[in-house]
Structure 1
C-alpha cells in the first residue's frame, strides 16, 4: 500500500536526509505504533493458522483491541499486510533531495533513505509481509491497487519538482517505471528471501536510470 543507490550525489543526499526528516507528532507516533503492533500480531496468526483461516476478530482479540478499533486503522484484512506509514516519510525525503538531481535520481535517493533507516525488526516484518503478499492471490491483487496509488503519489512528487502536470505522460511513465522496478524487486525478494531488498531496489533503479541495458 511500500518501499536505491545511484551516483555519488544521490548517496550523499541519503546521508543528509536521515537527519533532515521531520519528527512525527505524538498522534502520528501512537498511530504508527498501534498499526505496527496489530500487524505483528496478525503476522503471527497468519503464520500459525494461515492467512485464509485467520479472522479480523482473532487479530483484534490478540492485539487487545476491539474490531471497531481495528477498522479505524485497516478497512479490510488485506490492508493489515498492504498498509504502512512510509508515504509521508518518502515525500519528505524526496523534497529534501538536492535540486541538481534529476527527478528519477531524487526518487531513488528518497527510497534508499527510507530503506536505510529501517530497523532489523522492520526489515524482518517487511520480508514476511512480502512473502505472504506474493503467495496469496487476493493479496497480490490488493498490492497492485496499492502500487497504483503509490504511482499517483510519485507522479505528484515528480510533477512538482519538474514543473509539469501529474497527468503528463512523461511524468506518469517515470512514476510507472519506478513502480515496475518495485514490483519486480518484490517478486524476486519473495523467491529469494535471503536477498537484500534495498540492494534489489538499488540495482533495479540503477538499471532504469541507465536506460535498462541488457
Structure 2
C-alpha cells in the first residue's frame, strides 16, 4: 500500500511539473510573438508565467531551449494509432485529414489554442523555426513510416516520399497563410490545403 501511495504522489508531482513547464513555455512563445525573440528576456517570461526566474531556468536553461517544441502539445504519442485506425477504404490523404481532425477534437479549447499557436509560431518566428528543423524532419519521417505501413509500401518509395513532402509543404504553407489571416482557423486552413491536394489541384 505504501508503495502504491508513493507512486501516486510521485505521479501527481510529475504532472504538476509538466503543467508548470508547459505554462512557462506557452508564455514564452506568446512573448516571442508579441515582442520578438531577441527582445524577450527570461525575466519577462518568468513574470508572464507568474513564477520566479529561477523556476524558468530550472526547466529551461537557455532562451533557445524555450523555442524547442518537441514536447509541447505534441501529437506524437497518438498519431500512429489514430492514423492506422482509420477505415481501410480511405486514401492515405483522406486518412491523414481524418486523423488530424480527430486529434484536434480530443483537445480542450485551451489545448487546441496552444497547439495552433505552436504550429503557427514555428513557421513565423525564424528562431523558433531553426530550433525545430529536426522536429519537422522527424514529423515527416513519422508520416512517411505510417503511410508506408498503411499502404504496404517502403517508406523510401518515391510515392511515399512525394506524398510526405506534399502534405508537409501544404501544412507549412497553410500556417504561413494564417499569419496573414489571423481571423481564420489554422486547423481549417491545413485541412483545406490537404483537401486541395486530395482533389488533385485541378484548376
Q: TM-score, normalised by structure 2?
A: 0.74
Question: 2 CA distance for matches of 1:135 and 1:106?
Answer: 28
Contact 2:33/2:125, CA 8 A, preserved across alignment: no
Counterpart in the other structure of 2:60 = 70
After TM superposition, the structure 1 = structure 2 runs for residues 53-202 of structure 1, keeping only pairs within 5 Å, are 53-56=39-42, 59=45, 62=49, 63=51, 65=55, 67-70=57-60, 76-80=65-69, 83-130=72-119, 132-202=121-191
1:199–1:47 distance in 2 versus 1, CA, 3 Å: closer
Greater mean alpha carbon deviation, residues 170-179 or residues 33-42: 33-42
Q: Using CA pairs under 8 Å that are at least 6 residues apart, name the structure with larger relative contact order, 1 or 2.
A: 1
Shift of 1:102: 1.9
Question: 1 CA distance for matches of 2:147 and 2:176?
Answer: 25
Contact 2:82/2:99, CA 8 A, preserved across alignment: yes
Q: Does 2:191 match 1:205?
A: no
Contact 2:33/2:121, CA 8 A, preserved across alignment: no
1:50–1:81 distance in 2 versus 1, CA, 3 Å: farther
Contact 2:145/2:155, CA 8 A, preserved across alignment: yes
Contact 1:159/1:165, CA 8 A, preserved across alignment: yes
1:154–1:137 distance in 2 versus 1, CA, 3 Å: same
Structure exhibiting the larger radius of gyration computed from Cα positions:
2
CA RMSD of aligned residues (A): 3.1
Q: TM-score, normalised by structure 1?
A: 0.71
Contact 1:60/1:67, CA 8 A, preserved across alignment: no
Offset from partner CA, 1:85-114 (integer Å, 9 cap, x none): 211122221122112222222112111111
Alignment counterpart, residue 36 of structure 1, candidates 18, 22, 31: 22
Offset from partner CA, 1:104-126 (integer Å, 9 cap, x none): 22112111111223332233334
Residue segments in structure 2 that go unaligned for 5+ positions in a row: 1-10
